Chain A
Amino acid sequence: MLRIEQLSLALPYYPRFWRRRFATHLDQLSFSVTAGSVHAVVGASGAGKSLLAHAIMGLLPKDAQLSGSCFFKQTLLDEPRKRALRGRELALIPQSLSALDPLARSQHQVNWAARRAGLPPSPARQAASQALAHYQLDERARRAYPHELSGGMARRVLTAMAHVAQASLVIADEPTIGLDPAQRSRVLDALAALALQGKAVMLITHDLRHALSIADRVTVMREGRCVESADASAFQGTGQMLESAYARALWQALPDNAFNVDTEYAEESRFA
């Protein structure tokens, strides 16, 4: 569904007035996301996970330097095509809940997403209402404004918006942050359900353990580079099936596993 080849990204910064330099944030990333599966992208904060999502959606600032290529359904995904497809074929569930319109009831937000995807008014209303029911949002939640929703409900409204857009690629950026376990599993179940419908789901998260509960494949990122792409089943035992030391360390650092990393690696990985 989505193939990323040698994607690099540099963003400008200004060490002094009138002086511009570029800092590399993504470095030759390559991996692909297949239809009907959940592909998790995990890594520490600052690894460039969110930038990757923004690069795919074409939401980067104008002065960003992007190289390499993305293919969506075997066709090159360039900036005009990104603009044309986002909100329709490509959907992003953003990390920040401030992406919701603070002055619109959730029902209207989902309705708007359906209209934007090209549905006429009446089917759009119907689709919106079905999507809200699908994500277990009751009448009260539908009539609520964003500030009246709990974190988990707001995520589900955003997921419902991606759902009605009939997108074939859904990118969820840290959808479980700040949620309690019950809410978290509801949101993850919603994403797994999207994959079951044949959509490609890219799950961006720092939470390796819970990502593994729904992911088919996992890409580990570190400092803008793709360290390893592996099947989710490779994350087991002592991580002996993983190729890279960093992915193994990430797995071993979980409290259910060793809660420790190799001593030689600890110093290097320490707050890297």
Chain B
Amino acid sequence: MLEACQLRYAFHTQPPLFEEVSLRLGAGEWVGLSGHSGAGKSTLGRLLAGYDEPTAGHVRIAGQRLPVKGLRPVQWLPQSPELAVNPRWQVARVLHEAWEPPEALRHAFGIKPEWLNRPVRTLSGGELQRICVLRALAPGVRYLIADEISTMLDPITQLALWQALKAEAEKRKLGVLVISHDAALLGRLCQRRYHLENARLHAAEHHQLP
């Protein structure tokens, strides 16, 4: 269980971006997070992954604090994969940064062997996003924060990415928080949904689609 307790986050002395935010994400659970732009969805995602410290409150994973060193058990996948990789590195180096994914999994994510020796900057956004998602699935990772990861993809590629991720997450009982503006997508993927609005987090009405 990934738990956030009474989180509050403020930039310097400005009024807090959000406060009293509590959230639970179980192993193997898919939960949505929606909200207007600027509401703090990405910031909340970063706090949950331990990329940033909340002003108050805490994040616990199975009752423990997030580890400071080593591989993070909660991985944050940002919207722009270009910002998450070193553009000068080769694809293989990026992909193998955390672990060596088996070939079957590379195939499931549609990563072609001939990409491996190319520099990262020669790939398209969609191709790079798949590499970033697969990189984040290292053994030891238990939760994923998927922050608008499929907005730049065409419908078929988007579907294939989510199908590959869903299959792998089910196999390993990963908990996934899907941040998206797309209510229909959240309906397809998630069992329940939170909504961030006016600096507070609510459990939102959710229509799960079959």
Contacts and interface: CB of A to CB of B under 8 A. Distances in A.
A104 interface: no
Nearest to B127: A45
B161 to A, nearest CB: 8
Residues of B in contact with A, size category: 20 to 34
A255 B160 contact: no
Given A44-B126, A180-B37, A271-B110, A255 B154 contact: no
Contacts of A42: 154
Interface in A179-235: 180-183, 206-209
B196 to A, nearest CB: 13
A268 to B, nearest CB: 10
A237 interface: no
Interface string A244-272: 00000111011110011100000001111
Contact of A206 (B127, B153, B181): B153
A46 B153 CA distance: 11
B124 to A, nearest CB: 4
Contacts of B22: none
Interface of A is mostly: loop
B152 A250 contact: no
B188 A259 contact: yes
Nearest to A45: B124
B155 to A, nearest CB: 4
18 contacts: A44-B154, A44-B157, A45-B154, A45-B157, A177-B152, A180-B37, A249-B156, A250-B156, A253-B155, A253-B156, A253-B159, A255-B182, A255-B188, A261-B159, A269-B156, A270-B160, A271-B157, A271-B160
A43 interface: yes
A255 B156 CA distance: 10
Interface of A: 42-46, 177-178, 180-183, 206-209, 249-251, 253-256, 259-261, 269-272
A183 B151 CA distance: 14
Contact of B125 (A45, A181, A249): A45
A261 to B, nearest CB: 7
A250 B155 CA distance: 6
Contact of A256 (B37, B109, B124, B184): B184
A180 B151 CA distance: 10
A180 B36 contact: yes
B110 to A, nearest CB: 3
Contacts of A259: 159, 188, 209
A42 B158 CA distance: 14
Nearest to B126: A45
A252 to B, nearest CB: 8
